[in-house]
A and B are shown apart, each in its own frame.
Chain A
Amino acid sequence: MIPSVTRKTGADTGERQALADEAELIQRCLTGDRAAQEDFYRRYRRIVAGNLYRVLNDGCDLEDLIQEVFVVAFRGLPRFRGEARISTWLYRICVNIALGKIRSSLRRPQPIPMADPEPDRDATVSGPETPERILQRRQDRERVYRVLETLAPKKRVVLYLHEIEGRDLKEVAYLVGAHPVTVRTRLFYARKEFYRRLAQWGDDGTSRMAGRSTPADNNTPGDNAIDKTGGKS
């Protein structure tokens, strides 16, 4: 059984109230109340959009994907058992849809990359940030996503959720619908691969050893290297 993810026994009054609100909202949605469905959509739409955008780093089909998430959510509401918060449950749907999107995009020829059409959000950051620093941060972010794109879809999602979002193994297991031990194994190989490729990715934005694997990469944990945990956290 998948354990409860965010619900805690010692929840404070505010959280209990929020849970009660969510339960009431779901009940109203299930009765076909149009206002409740609209409220549901308005309450969670930005969370869903943010989740999808961050996982995929792609704004092209974002509207279609958001629509898909909400359609799946409304279809699945009668089966929602309340074992997690709605936002977590929606995140799980987002992860599944994102996985499908990654898989389908792998089957299609990739478009020629164009200049980033969206405004540079960092440009509006106030404070002592220099243009060079802003550019550097942007390049670093892009590099992370470039390396993520080289991973297999399942590894990519698990690594994103654990390393970047900072979610623990149980949460990741719930979100991807797998056993925690499976996730742990998947994460072990994903981390090794991700950081190896990240380390090899030059500052000029190109992989210095793209597609190559050295014998050292295939070493078992502990072989000829400083490694005591085997990369598992």
Chain B
Amino acid sequence: MAHVKPYRWADAHAGRVDRGEVASMQQHAECCVRCAGERDRIGRAIDSFADIRATEAPPVHWDHIGARVYWVTSSERRLAERGARRGDSRIYPRFAFLLPALAAAAAIALWLISAGSSQRGEMAGVEPPAQHSFQPVANQPQPAAPPLDSPPQLRGVVTFLQGPVAVDGATLRFDQLVQSGAHIVTGQGRVTIQFAEGSGFTLQPQSTATLHRFDERAVEVHVVGELIASIARGSGQTFTVVAGKHRVQVLGTIFQVRHREDRLEVACSRGRVAITGDSEQINIVKAGEVARMIGRGISRDTLDVGEIGAMDRAVPQMPTWTGAEDLRNASSRLDIAPSAKQPVAVTIDGITIGQAPFVLRVTPGRHHVKAEGSSASGVSTGSWIEVEAGSSVRPVLTDSSIKTSLARPSRTNKMSRRQRQIRRILDKSPWFDVCMWPLRKQGIAEGAFISLDIGIGKRGEIRHLNVLDSNLPGAGEQCIREAVDRFEFGPGPAATTRYRISL
């Protein structure tokens, strides 16, 4: 009997072969080692199809993907609207595919004309003008060719502005883009400038900074005063702070530079920084360390969890970078101004931003704003606000509430049960320990906590996930957010609950 075709074993497995034929196939396999082996292999493979169907995708950064999708679609919509307003510009995309063809046709026509003219010249016995095509015409200005390897220039977006800040002698506007060569003076104000995904710096009060170099390959900031930088890893861009005769260079880190006269203090909360001076010596400052230099002397100390947390918070959460123009147009402006005369400290999405008034750039969506005043003013209130893309929101802080905020739904028994269920699921999670492990390793886990506000929809989907309060470093917070995003809460009534993780 002939060998059994492999796909017939699959058919037999699926019940598409009649019994008699299956019996004869099995009979053949009993005395044929090759067919028996093939039958077993195919049978096992078909059994594994069920495993493949049940395979879940590995955890991904849902929030990042969602934000990116939103940026792309909203930018396209905005461009389309702009094009529609212009009217005739709509013709361009419709016939854009013709442009390369037209360019090629023009090039061929030019070549034919020049070839034809030279041929005619030779035929008439006229010498073609020697070197004509290679010599620039005298007295005709030639455009200066850009250097071949000059990287594209960056433009920085203001993501936080508090108090008056000047750039190049004029008042810095929140919507202004900062370019190479800009000279920033803070006075009593404070400003954060973002220039890449996860990369930006905050210039503290009474400080000046000059963007000496500001391109995609390198950023060099000359600073007098205090600057806190948060630089993302893996961008391939070098970030250098020049403070007097010292250069502080990094690739990916959060660090702080304080430079007043001959005193320099460099603190690093994540990654490593290298300090070079006029001598050949290189001083490395590791995460959790602070180096103080007076003249040629250097002393080192360690940072406590409070100092590390304060540094992380000094550069407010930066929106997803989609290019300077896009980010400026698609993000929203949150204008916090208290109505009371007393100073009010404002926390947004769990991150203490500082004393109001200030302006903060946020991604569109739901944000938690909390205001805490001194005991005399009695202001202590927190609430949610919904921010539209490209809008400007100015919640008014009063003694009892934040206007333009969203009302919370009244609590019911069903909702209470749902909240208990959510907390039980979170209690059992091993992921939080995974997030805390790096902190334990650094010895800064004691006293660390994070307080979350989680909104779950009817289908069990996470509607919002905001940090109300935390003293964790930024990476720890991000890890916890991602861990919560992995949970499947199952269907039930929509509910919002607060959850605190302490160590």
Contact = CB atoms under 8 A, between A and B. Distances in A.
Interface in A178-214: 191-192, 194-196, 198-199, 201, 203
Interface in A100-156: 118, 121, 136-137, 140-141, 143-144
A219 B5 CA distance: 10
B5 A140 contact: no
Q: Say whether chain A's binding surface is mostly helix, strand, loop, or mixed.
A: helix
Interface in A46-87: 46, 49-50, 52-54, 59, 62-63, 66-67, 70-71, 74-75
B389 A191 contact: no
Interface string A87-98: 000000000000
B121 to A, nearest CB: 47
B290 to A, nearest CB: 35
A49 B56 CA distance: 8
Contacts of A198: 6, 41-42, 45
Contact of B56 (A121, A144, A196, A228): A121
B58 interface: yes
A67 B10 contact: no
Interface in B61-76: 61-62, 64-66, 68-70, 72-73, 76
A12 interface: no
Interface residues of A, number: 54
B51 A37 contact: no
B24 A63 contact: no
Contacts of B11: 229, 231, 233
A53 B7 contact: no
B462 A195 contact: no
Label chain B's interface by main secondary structure: helix
B64 A63 contact: yes
A8 interface: no
A49 B60 CA distance: 9
A32 B77 contact: yes
Contacts, number: 147
B51 to A, nearest CB: 5
Interface in B38-64: 38, 41-42, 44-45, 47-49, 51-53, 55-58, 60-62, 64
Given A121-B56, A191-B10, A226 B24 contact: yes
Contacts of A43: 459, 461
B44 A136 contact: yes
Interface in B1-45: 1-11, 14, 16, 21, 24-25, 28, 37-38, 41-42, 44-45
Enumerate the 5 nearest inter-chain pairs by beta-carbon distance, A residue then B residue, closest first.
A49-B57, A199-B38, A53-B57, A195-B6, A199-B6
27 contacts: A37-B73, A38-B66, A42-B463, A43-B459, A45-B66, A54-B57, A59-B58, A70-B69, A71-B73, A137-B51, A140-B48, A141-B48, A143-B41, A144-B49, A166-B49, A192-B7, A194-B7, A195-B5, A198-B42, A199-B6, A199-B42, A225-B3, A226-B1, A226-B4, A226-B25, A226-B28, A231-B8
